[in-house]
Chains A and B, each alone.
Chain A
Amino acid sequence: DTGVSQDPRHKITKRGQNVTFRCDPISEHNRLYWYRQTLGQGPEFLTYFQNEAQLEKSRLLSDRFSAERPKGSFSTLEIQRTEQGDSAMYLCASSASGRYNSPLHFGNGTRLTVT
């Protein structure tokens, strides 16, 4: 279990620029989740994949956000035309599917700062 890895750890960008984050889940996990966390709050669900299929998106995920998991392995989260309100920690998690909801395994996150 090499854990969930996210890249980059930190990203500073100017308002209006596009950014892309990458997540590599635990290899045997077929579910992958993106969450967003702001200071003083818990993680908020954005979207999740089962294999390569994106099965659910939160209403928090505006049309400026897009996520992909092209081969059911790594995933990318892109934010277009960033706004200052997008500044947050973006967390990726993975889990194994099964009868019961398996716990989430989180990465260290990507901290986005929009100036």
Chain B
Amino acid sequence: AQSVSQHNHHVILSEAASLELGCNYSYGGTVNLFWYVQYPGQHLQLLLKYFSGDPLVKGIKGFEAEFIKSKFSFNLRKPSVQWSDTAEYFCAVNALPSNAGKSTFGDGTTLTVKP
């Protein structure tokens, strides 16, 4: 079974700092990859996704992620964070060829951005 590892449990940054959150998965086959975000008091929502093609994908609010197949990684980046980016971030993997859409999630990274 696949698993997802998020290296940082809690990250604290000042506004305008650059962000990189690590995500590694264990599965040797084809994957679909996702980052979800949960803002305080809100539900989990999609930040960005990778299905195929260009391994650098862009999402909402200036976030991007790069799929590096050889490293089984899908790290999330943002060049300059804002206070409003304070949230919990989850990486998720769907193992193919299963088309069930069943995602395996990492344990999340809490990002705190200081104004």
Contacts and interface: CB of A to CB of B under 8 A. Distances in A.
- Among A40, A44, A56, A104, which residue has the most Cβ atoms of chain B within 10 A? A104
A48 B34 contact: no
Contacts, number: 70
Interface string A26-68: 0000010100000011111100100000011000000000000
B100 A56 contact: yes
B99 A40 contact: no
A45 B43 contact: no
Interface of B: 4, 9, 32, 34, 36, 42-46, 49, 51-52, 90, 92, 94, 96, 99-108
Contacts of B32: 100-101
A106 interface: yes
Nearest to A99: B99
Interface string A72-101: 000000000000000000010101010111
B99 A97 contact: yes
Contacts of B104: 45
B101 A101 contact: yes
A31 B43 contact: no
Interface of A: 3-4, 31, 33, 40-45, 48, 55-56, 91, 93, 95, 97, 99-109
A100 B100 contact: no
A45 B99 contact: no
A45 B44 contact: no
**Which 4 A-B pairs rank lowest in CB-CB distance, beginning with the nearest?**
A42-B105, A106-B44, A101-B94, A103-B46
Contacts of B52: 100
Given A101-B94, A105-B46, A106-B45, 4 more contacts: A97-B101, A100-B51, A101-B103, A103-B49
A4 B46 CA distance: 14
